[in-house]
Amino acid sequence: MRDALDDIRRDLRLRIADINGRAARLSPLDIHARLDEVRDVAARAGLCAAEGLAERSAQLALLPGCRVAVSQALSHFDDALGTFEQEDRQTILAALAARLH
């Protein structure tokens, strides 16, 4: 189980790095779709915080100023991958909200 979860985390990190690296060339809809895929993988793996962060990041991708907001959100992704707890999901989303305002 541990190896499979490590593989999922590695895959999600690669997906996030790809989004960050290509964000300037991707449309907001493309960013949203890619982040929704990340959310889906995180949800199936039980990574609550990563799922919540990906969901919020996908929402941010559709708003004005999306590239800056998404970049800020994704800077929390490594922290989100390290936990399964619902409380940690709320903490990470609160930290993001404070950072964006």
SS3 state at 45: helix
Q: What is the pLDDT of residue 82?
A: 83
Instruction: Give me the pLDDT at residue 9, please.
Output: 93
Give pTM, 2 decimals: 0.87
The amino acid at residue 52 is G
Residue 91 has pLDDT above 90, yes or no: no
Segments in 1-101 forming alpha helices (H)? 2-22, 28-45, 48-60, 66-74, 77-81, 86-100
